Amino acid sequence: MDYVEVLADLDEQPVLHKSRLLLLLYAFAGENNEGAIEGITKLAKLDFLLRYPTMLKHALEVKGASTRDLSIEDHELYSVESEMVRYRFGPWDHRYRFYLNLLVGEGLIKVISEGRKVIIALTDKGFAFANKLSANSLMQIYTKRAGILKRHFDMTSTNLMNFIYDTFPEIVSLNSGKRIQL
């Protein structure tokens, strides 16, 4: 098996995606698990910045924030572990609902609908699991970046979406369904 096949297989495994989303929700949950992410669109924009560290670096620079704490490994300069596509509201992964349903089924997250608004939060079980996951050395890079996202990009879904559009106009110009590449 060659590296391309290994990476393609990895992208098809939900465990990496579920873990990344759990760590993102963990960063937004706060110390007492009282926080949440409001909306799948906001989750997608945050996950975009988490998956594409070079884009996160640029976004931090645009905001005038320090990039000193953001470490990007050499292999991440030219590739991502899992590409996203351009969709109606910007970067998107068509598997979000699948991953969220898996996490709900495992009792790790809760998805609360309030009219048209959807709130995604960790359950107590999910918070405890994400806490252990955040200490795993293999997941440290996501844990650290999710914390950076919480500090610098905890804004409304609309404001985050507009920031992404303004900061990355090349994504907005892509045809819907087109893969976002570095």
Q: Is residue 44 part of a domain?
A: yes
- pLDDT-based confidence at residue 132 (cuts at 50, 70, 90): very high
Mean pLDDT (whole number) for 149-162: 93
For residue 52, give the nearest of 86, 26, 29, 28 by alpha carbon. Answer: 86
How do residues 135-148 score in pLDDT, each as one tens digit?
999 899 999 999 99
Q: Which amino acid belongs to residue 80?
A: V
Q: What residues make up the domain containing 68?
A: 3-172
Q: Is residue 179 part of a domain?
A: no
Q: Is residue 115 part of a domain?
A: yes
Q: Is residue 26 part of a domain?
A: yes
Mean pLDDT (whole number) for 102-131: 95
Report the alpha-carbon distance of residue 160 to residue 131 in Å, rounded: 26
How do residues 62-115 score in pLDDT, each as one tens digit?
999 888 888 777 656 555 444 443 344 445 566 788 899 999 999 999 999 988
Report the alpha-carbon distance of residue 22 to residue 41 in Å, rounded: 16
β-pair type (85-87, 37-38): unpaired
Q: Is residue 167 part of a domain?
A: yes
DSSP notation for 104-136? HHTTSEEEEEETTEEEEEE-HHHHHHHHHHHHS
The total number of structural domains in the chain stands at: 1
Q: Is residue 139 part of a domain?
A: yes
How do residues 14-50 score in pLDDT, each as one tens digit?
788 899 999 999 999 999 999 999 998 899 889 989 8
Q: Is residue 36 part of a domain?
A: yes
Q: Is residue 152 part of a domain?
A: yes
User: Residue 83's pLDDT is what?
Assistant: 45
Helix (H), strand (E), coil (C) string for 7-60 = HHHHHHCHHHHHHHHHHHHHHHHCCCCCCCEECHHHHHHHHHHHHCHHHHHHHH
Which range, of 6-10, 52-56, 123-127, 162-166, averages the lowest pLDDT?
6-10
For residue 143, give the nearest of 37, 55, 24 by alpha carbon. Answer: 24
User: Residue 53's pLDDT is what?
Assistant: 85
Of residues 174 and 119, more confidence is placed in: 119
Mean pLDDT (whole number) for 106-133: 95
pLDDT of 164 above 50: yes
- pLDDT-based confidence at residue 172 (cuts at 50, 70, 90): low
